[in-house]
Amino acid sequence: MHVDKELVARLVDEIVGRLTDDHGAEHVLVIGSRNVGNEIFLPSDNAANRKIFFYDESYDNQKIDRYVLPSLQINDMADLALGRAVTPVAEMVRSLLLSGKKVEVLNYVYMAHESTAPPKLYQLYSEYAETLHAFGLAPVKEVRKLVCLTNRIISEKDLKACRAGGIKRIAIYPKTIVTSLAEDYARQFGIEIQRSERGA
């Protein structure tokens, strides 16, 4: 019986590598910078067994299981729908799509303008999103419906950022001050503000 020693050595290396490599942790690459404050909230089906890397840090591309784009900007969306990439983020997304990888998108920025944009313009962006979905961009379902804001003063700007992220419920501390403009904005767009001892 002839045993191919090279094949056996490669198989042993592969098995040992799998056994010693983070015990099967899911490797997620966030296509964004950690310095920008990208908070990633993915479904918690296996959150304890997940390692998150950011694209501007060092990582082993061969070990990435999942690609996540925290926020797809309007210009990047329009460019990618036409096959162009101007920004580094769009360039990376395009490269991943061309190599057959699926990219998950947490937030489409254009959606925050649904109530203010002209219907034809909003429809155009919706069509771009559908085109990108056909290319391999997959929207992640809303995964965080409640967020705790720890600011001492909540402004309209804070609520706009929450709304852009699809957040409709906000928990704040009892002594937090909510500006009148923020209260008006919350009423206008159906954002619920809850006061809680612990915040969330």
Q: Are 72 and 105 in contact (CB under 8 A)?
A: yes
Model pLDDT for residues 142-172, shown as the tens digit of each residue: 544 567 777 889 999 888 888 877 778 888 8
What are the residue boundaries of the structural domains of the chain, listed by start? Answer: 5-139, 146-195
Taking alpha carbons only, the member of 167, 175, 165, 166 closest to residue 196 is: 175
HSE of 190 in the Cβ direction (CA atoms, 13 Å)?
Answer: 5
Share of the chain above pLDDT 70, in %: 74
Both structure tokens of 93: 């997304």
| Topology adopted by domain 5-139 | Rossmann fold (3.40.50)
Cα–Cα distance measured from residue 84 to residue 200, given in angstroms and rounded to the nearest whole number:
41
Q: What is the largest CA-CA distance in the chain?
A: 83
Residue, of 189 and 199, whose pLDDT is higher? 189
Model pLDDT for residues 11-60, shown as the tens digit of each residue: 556 654 554 455 567 888 888 776 654 455 555 444 456 777 888 877 77
Region of 30 (left: φ > 0; alpha: ψ -120 to 50; beta: rest) is beta
pTM for the whole structure:
0.58
